[in-house]
Amino acid sequence: MPAIPTSQASDHHDVTVIGAGLSGLAAALRLAMFGKKVILLEKHYVVGGLNSFYAKKGIKFDVGLHALTNYPSQQSGKSSPLLKLCRQLRISLDSLNLLPQSHSRITFGTESLLFDNNFDFFISQVEDKFPKERDRFQSLLAKMETFPAYSVDAEDLSTRNILKESIGDPLLSEMLLCPTCYYGSARKNDIDFPTFVMLFDAIFRQGLARPELGIRAILDPLIGKLEELGVQRRMNCGVERIRTKGDKVSEIVLESGETLTSDQVISTCGAVETEALLAPSESSTPSTTEGKFSIMESIFVFQGNPKDFGWEETVVFFNDSEIFRYGEPEGLIDLRSGVICMPENYGNQLHNSDNKSKLRITHPANYDRWSELEQPTYESEKNLWEERILENGMRYLKNGKEVIDSFRAKTTFRDTFTPRTIKKYTGHANGTLYGSPQKRRDGTTAFENLFLAGTDQGYVGIVGAMLGGIAVANNQILRSI
């Protein structure tokens, strides 16, 4: 390791933020808005983390972004978390050009529930399909409204147990669990109740939308503002080690060997990953349980529009039976349930100039199984599963079986990523999407100047991660000024 130049070692900041995903970008911006001297360190060469972007064969892809949740509907009004985060970061909601979803669907076997951005419509769907559950569903809604989901002291209850007590028909419970688990659960076959309440509100009470220009509509203004405020952003700049002295972080060691110092550190790379950066002997916290939930997603780029095939929905959450199984599968991938997203079904979106659309199909996948494959087998398995994913997914789309051949003929490009890809580009242990099942809502750690923000703080998704970053900046660092 090269010697550390003293001039670099003296490059002192008020706050170091590790990771330029959505929580890190939001935290850095909030701190800079209040005059803090901030340095933002990112291992990858692009910002965005789990919600980044890339291009292949001239086609632009968002990594995630099936949906921006928390669409500020008339019912949610000014209390919408999305409006709150726009206010806190001084971003105009209008600048995002949000296109609302058409409608979405949860299908379990032969039963379906539709929802759109009008919560009353979802209530009417539940009442139509499960008339005996009408009163119990209303009581559950009332219980959720009074539950302090956003409080750092919110009790970490099992949603499955609460649904068992509250709802009579198990199928309704399973159908409610499905979208909320897919959008943010780190637990096998369950989701903690605070996260369930937050995501239920985010998906059903408020709703889904998509910025017309994709995730860059969010990332670009954040980067522009960080630059205006003089935040030092260093890309391709992985942190190798967090050194501590007593109960404080003393130095940040970069992969280049350079060291940095700051009064405070916010790490957004995950609890397990942050523990690995701290020398184990210096960490007095018990080690965090590793998350295991990861996914495989295949994206089919096709000529035309989903509506050409009669596909009207924006997102389809599907399960092949009445029992929802969520978690790490035994094999490479679990086809029994998944999520289909058709980004071109947001708004009355016109065709792209090249008249192409995307069909994205996502399934739970096993990191270890994908990781142990040699490269040629890895590639061939990806191709094999891509085809199986498509055939399986078509079962859940209108006339899917009949149109599959014409869909294949119109497909011009396919891309697939696995848990291995997620690990490679974000550093998340096990390629996990939602981090560890153990959350630290206030962001504190065993070290008094080290905080966690984002996924492992218990704030998930695009809106959640940004609110998490803002909350740590406000409550742990800015509260004293």
Ligand X SMILES: Cc1cc2nc3c(=O)[nH]c(=O)nc-3n(C[C@H](O)[C@H](O)[C@H](O)COP(=O)(O)OP(=O)(O)OC[C@H]3O[C@@H](n4cnc5c(N)ncnc54)[C@H](O)[C@@H]3O)c2cc1C
Interacting residues toward ligand X by CB under 6 A? 18-24, 41-44, 49-51, 63-67, 69, 238-239, 268-269, 273, 297, 422, 426-428, 433, 454-455, 460-462, 465
What 3 state SS string does the chain have? CCCCCHHHHCCEEEEEEECCEHHHHHHHHHHHHCCCCEEEECCCCCCEHHHCEEEECCEEEECCCCCECCCCCCCCHHHCHHHHHHHHHCCCHHHHCEEEECCEEEEECCEEEEECCCHHHHHHHHHHHCHHHHHHHHHHHHHHHHCCCCCCCCCCCEHHHHHHHHCCCHHHHHHHHHHHHHCCCCCCCCCEHHHHHHHHHHHHHHCCEEECCCCHHHHHHHHHHHHHCCCEEECCCCEEEEEEECCEEEEEEECCCCEEEEEEEEECCCHHHHHHHECHHHCCCCCCCCCCCEEEEEEEEEECCHHHHCCCCCEEEEECCCCCCCCCCCCCECCCEEEEECHHHECCCCCCCCCEEEEEEEEEECHHHHHCCCHHHHHHHHHHHHHHHHHHHHCCCCCHHHHHHHHHHHEEEEEEECHHHHHHHHCCHHHCCCCCCCCCCCCECCCCCEEECCHHHCCCHHHHHHHHHHHHHHHHHHHHC
Residue with tokens 């940004």: 466
32 or 172, CB closer to ligand X?
32
How far are the Cα atoms of 133, 193, 442 from residue 161, in angstroms, in the given order?
17, 9, 25
133 or 328, CB closer to ligand X?
328
39 or 65, CB closer to ligand X?
65
221 or 304, CB closer to ligand X?
221
Smallest distance from ligand X to CB 16, Å: 10
Smallest distance from ligand X to CB 295, Å: 6
Smallest distance from ligand X to CB 297, Å: 5
Smallest distance from ligand X to CB 43, Å: 4
179 or 400, CB closer to ligand X?
179
Smallest distance from ligand X to CB 125, Å: 22
Smallest distance from ligand X to CB 170, Å: 27
Smallest distance from ligand X to CB 269, Å: 3
Smallest distance from ligand X to CB 124, Å: 25
32 or 465, CB closer to ligand X?
465
64 or 81, CB closer to ligand X?
64
173 or 292, CB closer to ligand X?
292
190 or 273, CB closer to ligand X?
273
Smallest distance from ligand X to CB 136, Å: 29
